[in-house]
Amino acid sequence: MGALVVTEGGSALTAFTPPGAGDFDLPPIFGGVTKPMILVVLSVIIIAAYFLISSRKLKIVPSKGQFAAEYIYDFARNGIAREQIGSKDFKPYIPLVLSLFSFVLVNNVFGIIPILQFPTLAHIGYPIALSLLVVYPVYHFVGFKRHGFVGYLKHATVPPGAPLAIYFLLTPIEFLQKFVLNPITLAIRVFAAMFAGHLIILVFTIGGEYLLTQAGGVISKPVSVVSFLFAILMIFVEALIQVVQAYVFAVLSANYIGAALAEDH
């Protein structure tokens, strides 16, 4: 990657600067408040308002609006929590799974909503808050509570059914995975997906803009149309990835809890 100078046509041109990490560091809107901060607060307001209002008068035979809310709730409850944690233990974790799913989903989708147009989780601080400070303590806490201190360590690091020699390899790997890597990969996965997705849209949009307004030559203006079309296409791809990442984040969180609670592998 480097500065690209198109000098075709001989006119003096400003160099094209591809978007980079700096484009994610938006200047504060007022005081120390930045756009992602506002978006996070907005997402909490939207989700809380939606679920609180839609659950105000629930009927046994649902209306259309209630059906939609119930569908999302049902997806988090049965599709993620019950599936991953098991029908015996999943009930206390429904709020956590529902919150994680809806929080990540809404903040991701912000990335393609005009004006908002910024996936909050592309700032790694937010996924780290969720994964390292919420999911990680929760699943180890419930694991220690369920199995006792030594019991949980053994449960987590010594999966039964392997030959003795394998444990010299297996136990450190399991330990590293459960206590170090899981929360980091959980945070980095959604962060990287959102970061890269947003960057790709930026590249095509800024590139198209540059081709249209700055670059000379006969060919660059029609090509800018292609660039914008790709930007639109990538927005659709992003929409898919945003939903999938929200789902994956919630599923993995529930999965870690389920694994910590499981009686035995």
Partner 1 sequence: MKTQILLAAEQAPNPVLPHPSEIILGLVAFLILLFLLWKFAVPRFEKLYEERTAKIEGGIEKAEKAEAEAEEALARYKAQLADAYSEAAKIRDDARLEAERIKEELRAEAQDEAARIIAQGHAALQAQKAQIVAELRAELGRNSVELASRIVGESLEDDARRRGTVDRFLAELGSGNGAGK
Nearer to partner 1, 41 or 226 (CB): 41
142 belongs to the binding site for partner 1 (CB under 8 A): no
Q: Does 129 bind partner 1 (CB under 8 A)?
A: yes
Q: Based on CB atoms, which residue is closest to partner 1, 135 or 156?
A: 135
130 binds partner 1 (CB under 8 A): yes
Least distance CB 178 / partner 1 (angstroms): 22
| Rounded least distance, CB 206 to partner 1, Å | 14
Q: Which of 110, 139, 195, 249 lies at the binding interface for partner 1 (CB under 8 A)? A: 195
Interface with partner 1 includes 94 (CB under 8 A)? yes
CB 120 within 8 A of CB 192: no
Q: Is residue 90 part of the contact set for partner 1 (CB under 8 A)?
A: no
Alpha-helix residue ranges (DSSP H) falling in the chain: 35-54, 64-74, 83-85, 94-109, 125-130, 136-147, 149-157, 164-176, 182-213, 220-261
Q: Does 134 bind partner 1 (CB under 8 A)?
A: yes
28 binds partner 1 (CB under 8 A): no
Site for partner 1 in 36-55 (CB under 8 A): 36-37, 40-41, 43-44, 47-48, 51-52, 55
* Residues in CB range of 90: below 8 A, 6 or more apart: 77, 81, 82, 84, 254, 258
User: What is the crossing angle of helices 182-213 and 220-261, to 10°?
Assistant: 170
